[in-house]
Structure 1
Amino acid sequence: MRFNGGMSSDASASSDETIDHASEPDAVSPDDGTSGQMVENLDSTAEELADSGQQRGTLRDVADSLGISSTVALRALRGAEEVKPQMVTRVHEAAERLHFPLEELSEEEDHRGVVAVLVNTMRNTWISDLVRAIRIELSATGRTAVVVPTRRRMPEYPVAADTDAIESLVQLGVDGFLMISDLADMDSVLTAIADRPLVGIGCSKEFVGRFDTVRIDDEVGQGLLVDHLVGLGHREIAHIGGVGAAVARERADAFRAAMERHGLGEHARVEPGDFTEQVGQTAGSMLLRGSKVPTAVTCANDVTAVGLLSAAREAGISVPEELAVAGYGNTSLASSGISQTTSVDPNSDRLGALAAQFLVERVSGLDTPARDVAVAPSIVVRRSSSAGPRPESTKRKRISVD
């Protein structure tokens, strides 16, 4: 249920980051009388772009407005023979209506350059969702992307970025950089990047105005989670997060603000935790074995939520009957049959596509003040939060370990 509101061997190993060129007969041959709905979708997309101050649509916007995949939209724009003329016409009309930069469109065999995607880690499955969207959007301009982990693993650099790798990428002549989430030691990173364009994806508000940023609207995201849980009757709601990165602190602040909005500020407890499963499990144990146990917990991301689920299992607490759990990111971890975790969907396709377009525009010479777009997420409700709090008379007594 959904409610609206190269350089590394790891980089090229995932098959879900490639563009699927399989045939899509329904999308390629729309002769079912749905043109009226397509026009309505197109108008709605154009209005959303205008409301958010965006002058150009992405390939993803063009595709979504017509109910087709980005791959089919790109093949139509390139005039592929297997795409019927009617679809080619509709895609071109949609591209013009949404001001998609057709002048940047390349032929399939045209290779213009490489973009480096800088990440802290390859362990977060959210990154693969973003990289796939980035690669599809870049492919329209004949570019490709390599994913580069930047965190140093040597003891003398516990939280430093691998600026040597970034400087090597500059020397190799990459077109520019996309940064997923905040990197460690950003001043050194910016120095290493030199004059190459940089766009941040899913980063904190701290970088707004320094370079182009495409962020998740965490105020909306945390608000959706709290609204959902309060609607089920939960009042004792906690949050695991707030440490390890500025984004974590911003999400914790957004959680507190959402609780205040419901008049539950005094019940808003934040248990310190970062974005890792181990810390999520430790923080979860602290919450669940204390004298005052919450009935629902939101987490900084889906990985943290998995750690909390482990802590609940060890404590003998059933989910969702005794504890509602929610994550953030809507990754494969959340949607797996084992966890079935409610999560905020950050609209990764939109984040990746828009960031890629921003970078291409900078590479092409756009010289304007740094732009910032906060993409509105949605909530996907799953089993982990499908129940409200138990009545007091049926709750088991917990043993305090304080």
Structure 2
Amino acid sequence: MSSDATSSDSSLDPHNDAAAAQADDGSTGQMVEDVESTAAELDADGASRGTLRDVANSLGISSAVALRALRGADEIKPRMVERVREAAERLHFPLEELSGETEHRGVVAVLVNTMRNTWISDLVRSIRIELAATGRTAVVVPTRRRLPEYPVAVDTDAIENLVHLGVDGFLMVSDLADMDEVLEATGNRPLVGIGCSKELVGRIDTVRIDDEVGQGLLVDHLVSLGHREIAHVGGVGAAVARERADAFRAAMARHGLADSARVEPGDFTEQVGQTAGSMLLRGSQVPTAVTCANDVTAVGVLSAAREAGYDVPEAFAVAGYGNTSLASSGVAELTSVDPNSERLGALAAQMLVDRVSGHEGPFRDVAVAPSLVARRTTAAGPRPETTRRKRISVD
């Protein structure tokens, strides 16, 4: 069991007095306007209530300061306490769920397929911030178990042990293998899926990435640069991968490029991404650009391009998905889709707390709209076919 989710986090530092003082700067009018703007955005998204992060962002303060203000901490100025509580009420934040600073009523388990995906750390941070308001914490639990007779299986024993230990509930990042077994292992504990596939809608509470919008943003971006021969690496290994591949095809068809919408099979790993990239680049019809199922896959494609002698982005543009630290690193500078991990994690944590607190009713589903972050790997349009391959002279 990993305890990544309980590591130190400056955004939850209870001694962040400087931030509290800075936040109380007298700009009441702007704060009111920002709170109303946030409320309008929540209404547009169909959200019944805001998260702790929504309250903090609407006032231009950290989540730590917002939480301390809601708890009535002595070091927070009375005027700031008043503003935070007013914002919380306006955004329908559940003040009745607020706990005292020293109360820790339970632990939430975050179930993941792997610890190698850096997207998970972004999600866990936002989950922790939201859970902190109710005195809860989170632990991250890898669930993938490899058996000789099966390539991938879920470790239901670990999930059942968590139930016996008395966890409040479960947050599941992406689809796990053997979902029927997962649902049985969690027993009567609430389970909320984050970044999962449409296949789970109606079976559990779900907070998904709107992949139709995400892949559409990538294709729109590449087409605007002049690309027409665009491929996608993905579609294998999980329902989410298939849905992203379908969203890519739909986006290409919207531009009248359905005949050029090639999907090279790949999962979410760098190794398979590199193999798929090599297949694309050694074919008779090489695309000028490629979108990928995630950032890790895109890094593999970049490696294949380098080995094949293709300049990126002049000869071959590459885009990822997830906007992880891999994408933003100075080495990759990878164009990627930002799934709004902060909102995904906060909404999922909120849904779980609702269920733990006794909320009943149909399972809910929220699709969070992502955004595009353009970087160096798609900074140029396609070259003519005759000049795309980098010539390497051999003496």
The TM-score by the shorter chain falls in which range? over 0.9
Q: Which amino acid aligns with 1:301?
A: N
Q: Could you tell which deviates more after superposition, 31-40 or 50-59?
A: 31-40
Q: Which amino acid aligns with 1:307?
A: G
What's 2:31 paired with? Answer: 38
Q: 2:184 aligns with which of 191, 202, 209?
A: 191
- Alpha-carbon deviation of 1:86? 2.1
What's 1:277 paired with? Answer: 270
Distance in 2 of aligned mates of 1:195 and 1:312:
49
- Alpha-carbon deviation of 1:148? 0.7
2:309–2:390 CA contact under 8 A, matched in 1: no
Distance in 2 of aligned mates of 1:384 and 1:219:
22
Q: Which amino acid aligns with 2:294?
A: N
Alignment of 1:231 onto 2:224: yes
Q: Deviations over 1:88-134 (max 9, x none)?
A: 11111110000000000011100111111111000000001101111
- The verdict on how the C-alpha distance between 1:20 and 1:124 changes in structure 2, with shifts beyond 3 A counting, is farther
What's 2:305 paired with? Answer: 312
Mapping 1:231-270, distance limit 5 Å: 231-270=224-263
Distance in 2 of aligned mates of 1:370 and 1:13:
28
Q: Deviations over 1:207-251 (max 9, x none)?
A: 101110000000111111111111111111111000100000000
Q: Which amino acid aligns with 1:174?
A: V
SS at match of 1:284: helix
What's 1:302 paired with? Answer: 295
Q: Which amino acid aligns with 1:386?
A: A
- Alpha-carbon deviation of 1:57? 0.8
SS at match of 2:161: helix
1:221–1:376 CA contact under 8 A, matched in 2: yes
Distance in 2 of aligned mates of 1:334 and 1:249:
22
- The verdict on how the C-alpha distance between 1:94 and 1:176 changes in structure 2, with shifts beyond 3 A counting, is same
The alignment-based identity, stated in percent, is: 79
Alignment of 1:125 onto 2:99: no
SS at match of 1:240: strand
Distance in 2 of aligned mates of 1:269 and 1:44:
41
- Alpha-carbon deviation of 1:29? 3.0
- Alpha-carbon deviation of 1:69? 1.6
2:172–2:193 CA contact under 8 A, matched in 1: yes
Distance in 2 of aligned mates of 1:146 and 1:375:
24
Mapping 1:389-400, distance limit 5 Å: 389-392=382-385, 394-396=387-389
- The verdict on how the C-alpha distance between 1:183 and 1:116 changes in structure 2, with shifts beyond 3 A counting, is same
Paired residues in the alignment total: 391
What's 2:370 paired with? Answer: 377
Q: Could you tell which deviates more after superposition, 47-56 or 218-227?
A: 47-56
Structure 1: 5+ residue stretches without partners: 1-7
SS at match of 2:208: strand
- The verdict on how the C-alpha distance between 1:21 and 1:391 changes in structure 2, with shifts beyond 3 A counting, is farther
- The verdict on how the C-alpha distance between 1:35 and 1:81 changes in structure 2, with shifts beyond 3 A counting, is same
Distance in 1 of aligned mates of 2:3 and 2:19:
34
Distance in 1 of aligned mates of 2:89 and 2:104:
24
1:225–1:344 CA contact under 8 A, matched in 2: yes
Distance in 2 of aligned mates of 1:309 and 1:339:
8
Distance in 2 of aligned mates of 1:17 and 1:204:
32
Q: Could you tell which deviates more after superposition, 385-394 or 333-342?
A: 385-394
Mapping 1:1-400, distance limit 5 Å: 8-9=1-2, 11=4, 15=8, 19-21=12-14, 23=16, 25-26=18-19, 28-30=21-23, 32=25, 34-392=27-385, 394-396=387-389
- Alpha-carbon deviation of 1:13? 7.9
Q: Deviations over 1:16-68 (max 9, x none)?
A: 69834462635543355543332222112112222222211110111111122
1:17–1:131 CA contact under 8 A, matched in 2: no
SS at match of 1:339: coil
- Alpha-carbon deviation of 1:11? 3.2
- The verdict on how the C-alpha distance between 1:396 and 1:124 changes in structure 2, with shifts beyond 3 A counting, is closer
Distance in 1 of aligned mates of 2:249 and 2:380:
22
1:241–1:271 CA contact under 8 A, matched in 2: yes
1:11–1:148 CA contact under 8 A, matched in 2: no
SS at match of 1:328: coil
Q: Which amino acid aligns with 1:62?
A: V
SS at match of 2:367: strand
RMSD: 1.8
- The verdict on how the C-alpha distance between 1:31 and 1:166 changes in structure 2, with shifts beyond 3 A counting, is closer
2:6–2:137 CA contact under 8 A, matched in 1: no
2:20–2:76 CA contact under 8 A, matched in 1: no
Structure 2: 5+ residue stretches without partners: none
1:18–1:135 CA contact under 8 A, matched in 2: no
1:159–1:185 CA contact under 8 A, matched in 2: no
SS at match of 1:29: helix
2:111–2:170 CA contact under 8 A, matched in 1: yes
Distance in 1 of aligned mates of 2:68 and 2:10:
18
